[in-house]
Amino acid sequence: MPKTRSVAVLVGSLRKASYNRKMALALAKLAPDTLKLGIVEIGDLPLYNEDVETAGAPAAWVQFRGEVKAADALLFVTPEYNRSVPGGLKNAIDVGSRPYGSSVFGGKPGAVVSVSPGAIGGYGANHHLRQSMVFLDVPTMQQPEAYIGGAATLFDEQGGIVSETTRGLLTKFMQAFAAWVEANAKG
């Protein structure tokens, strides 16, 4: 029987009512029992600056790094800002990747979901993020891909996924991710 695996979820939008935060919560419910998802907050992380590191890492960095390090796997749920990854999410990635030699991401299996109001579903953010995952040595699930458009009509008032088709796709995504994590997790 597979172990239960903890998944650090990084949400790319900082809005309280963010579609991507809603998606993260919905995915937590759709996931198989072997995955335990928890959002790791990124909104209070000071911008990465090596001088600040040298002077002493801020408490918010230390806490973020610790929470990611403790997880078995990574799930990114993100909008696209200006055809790329939101600065806040990229900053979290930069913070977690440092100091040199102490990245908290390396070797943890990962997956990417991108959500946008328009039709394109955050394609650019999704792939720019994947390029960073190459460097960070995060084996990232290739299929199914998840570019989710039409964000404004995705959720009901309880945060459930309205469309049965979309719910089915996301359920399969999380099942595939569970298998991916099981195959690639360390220990």
Q: Residues interacting with a second copy, by CB under 8 A?
A: 13-16, 43, 45, 47-52, 81-95, 97, 106, 119-121, 123-124, 127-128, 130-140, 142-143, 145, 147, 149, 183-184
Distances (CA, A) of 51 to 31, 57, 64: 40, 9, 19
In the complex, the smallest distance separating the C-beta of residue 115 from a second copy, rounded to whole angstroms, is 13
Residue 174: which H helix or E strand, with range? Answer: helix 164-184
Nearer to a second copy, 67 or 145 (CB): 145
Selection from 90, 96, 108 nearest residue 7 by Cα: 108
* Minimum distance, C-beta of residue 135 to a second copy, in the bound complex (Å): 4
Distance CA 67, CA 61 (A): 10
For a second copy, give the closer residue by CB, 29 or 99: 99
Residue found under tokens 């990611």:
68
Comparison of 29 and 118: residue with beta carbon closer to a second copy: 118
Which residue do the tokens 């973020």 mark?
Answer: 64
CB nearer to a second copy: give 1 or 119: 119
Residues forming a β-bridge with 113: 77
Closer residue to a second copy, CB minimum distance, 29 or 142: 142
Cβ of residue 51: shortest distance to a second copy, in angstroms? 5
Q: Which helix (H) or strand (E) holds 50?
A: helix 50-55
Q: Within 13 Å, how many C-alpha atoms sit on residue 2's CB side?
A: 18
In whole angstroms, the minimum distance from the beta carbon of 104 to a second copy comes to 12
Match 């579903």 to its residue by tokens: 121
**Closest separation in Å from C-beta 96 to a second copy:** 9
**C-beta separation of 63 from 102 below 8 A:** no
